Amino acid sequence: MNAAESQAPSGRMEYAGAVYGSLLAASVVAGSAADGTPLQAGDLATVLISTGVVFWLAHMYAQVVSQGVHPLTWEHVRAAGRHEWPLAQAAFPPAIAAAFASAFGMSDGAAAWAALTVAVASQVIWAVAAAVTTHASTRVVILSGIANLALGLAIVALKTVVAAH
């Protein structure tokens, strides 16, 4: 596997990883307050980034192993890392949102909602960008946005239900 193979087939951004990473970030935020008490904003940012990096490493490992490359070189590992990096990158905007909310004196709960909102919005934006980049029809672009919004809202609903108990 070379550097060119580490990108999406078109040579563009790997949108699937970014969409998945955004959904993962939303899930992390929702699950971080399972007992109804939100994490402190700094801790939430740390958990978001740490989870994104751990999943990036896991996906990178899976890609390297699934390629069956022999002999395994650092170039193969770096290429897999570049390919999977959007998954980790997707954790940064929600983490930054939580940190900014805290810096502006908002409560930890408000910081968690800010992070969740940014994660869901990012997921929708990445999905729409992927559809647009592939020159999908307007209908498919809209359906991509709606489907990803529905997935994100399902996470929001989960957070709301869990926090109420």
Of 102, 142, 98, nearest in space to 117 by CA: 98
Q: Is the peptide bond before 86 cis (omega within 30 degrees of 0)?
A: no
pLDDT in tens, 108-119: 999 999 999 999
Residue 70 lies in domain: 3-164
Determine which of 35-39, 81-85, 107-111, 123-127 has the lowest per-residue pLDDT on average.
35-39
CB 132 within 8 A of CB 11: no
Domain count, the chain: 1
First-residue to last-residue Cα distance in the chain: 49
pLDDT in tens, 76-116: 899 999 999 999 999 999 999 999 999 999 999 999 999 99
- Which pTM was predicted? 0.85
